[in-house]
């Protein structure tokens, strides 16, 4: 693991390091057949007002969920998601016991953003906590990362409670076998560490985004429990935008830049 970027914010040192998975999945064979739930939609031009109101129009079919998202700019790369939140639809529908938004063919969005920086701390060190919301209409969030003990190293997921205190609810080790994953509960021991994943996004010429992973500062399990904290965003350049997920889980993005002084 090699540190390639260091930030300082409010007296905290936040690191980013290269991530090398133990084994890389075999690349999928190219196919010209579109999956039945693939997105058939368009994100029209988006705008961000001085009051951080984001407006956009999304039209088309096979839209599952729509999120707002903020990314941190660093040269030609972007890190995130600094924040990611579900946009609630005017109507919902239930499929298989799961509540989903009921979008129309044309969706006019106007959403108030709340730029902030969420960190994970062990009481001594701090790391970027670019978490993902637990689910549509569900409070709480989860954060993936690399868990290291004296015996092994594995991918893990920390789920944080939904009662507003942002304490750790559970920790799961995630072992990937082919296209499937088998989670099981982890009981941290003093000295074990957890380094949160950070998405590294690079814009490509075809309008798509290349997404890889990095690691933030390793945090140590000890006398104090890991806890999420929220601070004002770092002075930097950012992207704010719309993230649309289709019925097959694929993402389409569109952003507008802004700066925090």
- Residues 117-171: pLDDT tens digits? 999 999 999 999 999 999 998 889 999 999 999 999 999 999 998 765 668 889 9
Evaluate if residue 33 carries a pLDDT over 50.
no
Evaluate if residue 24 carries a pLDDT over 60.
no
Evaluate if residue 23 carries a pLDDT over 80.
no
For residue 28, give every residue at least 6 positions away whose Cβ sits within 8 Å of its Cβ, in sequence order, or none.
Answer: none
Residue 13, pLDDT score: 97
How many Å apart are CA 86 and CA 245, to the nearest integer?
11
Q: Output the average pLDDT for the chain.
A: 89
If pLDDT is split at 50, 70 and 90, which confidence band does 10 have?
A: very high
Q: Shortest CA distance to 138 belongs to which of 88, 71, 198? A: 88
Q: List b or e across 103-130, with b for residues whose CB sees 16 or more CB atoms inside 10 angstroms.
A: beeebebebebeeebbbbbbeebbbbbb
Give alpha helix (H) positions in the chain. none
For residue 232, give every residue at least 6 positions away whose Cβ sits within 8 Å of its Cβ, in sequence order, or none.
Answer: 116, 117
Q: 81 preceded by cis ω (within 30°)?
A: yes
Residue 30, pLDDT score: 42
Q: Token match 């010429």: residue?
A: 205
Q: Which has more pLDDT, 239 or 98?
A: 239
Mean pLDDT of 176-188: 76
The region, left, alpha or beta by phi > 0 then psi within -120 to 50, assigned to residue 122 is alpha
Two tokens at 126?
Answer: 């701090």
This prediction has a pTM of 0.90
Evaluate if residue 181 carries a pLDDT over 90.
no
| pLDDT, tens digit, 9 for 90 and up, residues 69-102 | 999 999 999 999 999 999 999 999 887 777 789 9
In the chain, % of residues over pLDDT 90: 68
Mean pLDDT of 55-65: 91
């Amino acid at each position: 693991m090699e540190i390639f970027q260091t930030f300082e914010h409010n007296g905290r040192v936040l690191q980013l390091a290269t991530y090398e998975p133990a084994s890389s999945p075999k690349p999928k064979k190219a196919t010209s057949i579109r999956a039945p739930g693939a997105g058939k939609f368009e994100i029209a031009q988006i705008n961000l007002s001085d009051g951080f109101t984001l407006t956009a129009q999304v039209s088309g079919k096979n839209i599952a969920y729509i999120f707002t998202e903020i990314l941190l700019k660093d040269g030609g790369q972007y890190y995130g998601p600094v924040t990611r939140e579900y946009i609630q639809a005017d109507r919902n529908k239930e499929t298989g016991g799961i509540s989903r938004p009921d979008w129309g063919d044309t969706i006019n969005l106007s959403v108030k953003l709340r730029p902030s920086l969420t960190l994970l701390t062990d009481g001594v060190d701090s790391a970027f906590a670019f978490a993902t919301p637990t689910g549509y209409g569900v409070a709480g969030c989860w954060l993936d990362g690399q868990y290291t003990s004296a015996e092994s190293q594995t991918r893990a997921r920390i789920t944080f409670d939904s009662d507003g205190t942002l304490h750790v609810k559970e920790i799961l080790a995630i072992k990937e076998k082919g296209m499937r994953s088998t989670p099981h509960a982890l009981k941290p021991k003093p000295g074990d560490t957890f380094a949160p994943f950070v998405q590294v996004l690079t814009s490509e010429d075809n309008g798509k985004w290349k997404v890889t992973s990095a690691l933030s500062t390793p945090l140590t399990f000890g006398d104090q429990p890991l806890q999420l904290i929220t601070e004002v965003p770092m002075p930097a350049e950012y992207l704010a935008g719309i993230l649309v997920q289709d019925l097959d889980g694929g993402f389409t993005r569109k952003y507008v830049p802004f700066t925090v002084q």
